[in-house]
Amino acid sequence: MMSQNLSKSSHNKRAAAINELRQLIANGQVELAFSLGQTLLTKHKKDAEVHFLLGLVAEQTGQMKISRSYATKSIGYAEHPDAYFLLSRIEREEGNTNRSIELCDRAIHMRPDSIQLYIQRAGTLEEAGRIREAREVVEPLIEQLESSNQKIPTELKFELAKILVQEEQYTNAVELIDELMTNQTSPSQMLRLQLYLQAKAYDRSNEYVSAFTAASRANEIGQLDFDPVLYEQQVTTLIEQWTAERIAKFPTTSCEDELPVFIAGMPRSGTSLIDQIVDAHPNASGVGELSTLEIFAHQLSDAYNSELEPPKCFGHYDRFRWNRVARSYIKSVREQSPSGTLRVVNKALGNNKLVGLIACLFPNTRVIHALRDPRDVAISCYMGGFNDRRHPWTTRLDWITSSWDQSLRMMEHWKDVLDIPILDVCYEDLVTEPEIYVPQLIEFLGLTWDPACLEFHQSNRTVRTLSYDQVNRPIYTSSVSRHKKYMQYIDGVKFSDYPTQLK
């Protein structure tokens, strides 16, 4: 009897801890959740639910490799649909459409009544440009729910609205989004997404006043403050800390690998297009916006002591740790790339701040600097839906142009103080004369020319950025001088001079 009571008590304690862990995850308290999950693992090493929940925590913090590991272990201990759903989201995030669908189907087989799984399946297909297949998921499900008088989830109708935009049924898309915003109470995050999608539909149907109005409404929701003067000061500090003289004293690595390539520049400057072009080469691959080096940069920043000269200013982050980071990065991107890959492109949006660190870690790297008319960058960022804690400056046109100036300032500094090759690639050149500038790009990477680079849109790869429904199309020029459609809104905003070609 005592043994049974102890067993019941242990079970109750586990259940209470699991409930607490789930609540922490729901509240976004990821550090506390991770700590509790690790404590639970010491007592329940083969507990599938604990591994799955730790996978959710890792997913929330963008650590997809760790999340995948926990989810895989969870399934190994007890096969269940939640872990398959998590793995499907991870594969979707990394652009592996077929694998994502396969895992989603496994989860659906185990839980056929889950609407969220069907929404996941439809969203994955839509992002991959497989619009007909996406509709074949959404339409029957909506009909089934309507026939049984069940409420249709907002997320499901939103997926239908995205499909309508892809099918160029812009009026129907706008009407559906209006219905969603009028008849249903959506969280602010979903309302923002609806407004950004509506802005896209209006823009593509040439209703520019309505498009800008919808984007403005979206940008006002949860708008965070941004101080351009403070940001300029921060860039000044970075430039003063990363002089040629100081860099020469920074920790050095023994990495001689030419594998890593980085795209730097402002969002909406053609970074995704460049990434797709390079990835189409049989000896190159793209890993999207990999944040590994940003994490290391934050660690260095936390440890940095401005009163000490380099390398002591980095505290315990000595050359051995820098070497470890370089080796770990190379190993990671190799594992994510096909056999025979000679160059791997990382287009993380914070790369313009990290070029100095990148050069120290990978002396044989190459950097591609994406450039575009700042007026077009401003409109595209404003309409694009970045509005988050990492990019608060995207919610105002004057903030965007200030950020453009600082990005250009940083890149000019890196060219002055670093020995690594940095290639300026103007979006306008790339799309108007691809037969000239795409081969130049491939030559810069030290690769032999392959015509597949001009046919990048035929790739089965899914791009997980705001540009996903644009870079899966052949090169087009309609986005050049996009700002002219919105001239009434950019009057009075100061933009830097921008040459159409940089030699």
Instruction: Tell me the domain boundaries of the chain.
Output: 12-189, 230-373+396-475
Would you state the pLDDT for residue 105? 97
Please give the class, per CATH, of domain 230-373+396-475. alpha beta
- pLDDT for position 363: 97
Query: Closest Cα to residue 92, out of 75, 61, 117, 112?
Result: 117
Contact 386, 501 (CB under 8 A): no
pLDDT at 465: 55
pLDDT at 12: 83
**How many other CB atoms are there within 10 angstroms of residue 274's CB atom?**
27
Bridge partners for 260 per DSSP: 344
CB 128 within 8 A of CB 462: yes
Can you tell me the distance from the alpha carbon of 297 to that of 279, in angstroms, rounded to the nearest whole number?
26
In Å, what is the CA distance from 255 to each residue of 80, 181, 315, 322? 42, 53, 22, 10
Number of residues written out for the chain: 503
Report which residue type is found at 280.
A
How far is it, in rounded angstroms, from Cα 473 to Cα 204?
A: 15
CA nearest neighbour of 118 among 131, 137, 145: 137
Q: What is the pLDDT of residues 352-365, one digit of tens each?
A: 999 999 999 999 99
In sequence order, what are the residues at sequence separation of 6 or more whose Cβ sits closer than 8 angstroms to the Cβ of residue 136? none
Q: What is the pLDDT of residue 459?
A: 67
Q: Which of 358, 329, 346 is nearest to 247 (CA)?
A: 358
Check if the beta carbon of residue 196 is closer than 8 Å to that of residue 189. Answer: no
**pTM confidence score:** 0.85
* CATH class of segment(s) 12-189: mainly alpha
pLDDT in tens, 50-84: 999 999 999 988 788 899 999 999 999 999 999 99
Instruction: Scan for tokens 């120290």, then name that residue.
Output: 360
CA distances from residue 381 to 227, 268, 270, 281, 399 in whole angstroms, order as listed? 17, 6, 12, 28, 11
Q: Do residues 279 and 441 touch, judged by C-beta distance below 8 A?
A: no
| Cβ burial 176-190 (10 Å sphere, 16+ → b, else e) | bbeebbeeeeeeeeb
Give yes or no on whether 12-189 and 230-373+396-475 have one common fold.
Answer: no
pLDDT at position 1: 42
* In the block, residue with structure tokens 């729910």: 145
Supply the pLDDT for residue 460. 60
> Which residues of the chain have a pLDDT value below 50?
1-4, 6, 471, 501-503
* Number of CB atoms found within 10 A of residue 385's CB: 20
| Residue-level pLDDT at 74 | 96
Q: Kindly state the tokens that stand for 336.
A: 């994510």
The Cα–Cα gap between 334 and 351 comes to 20
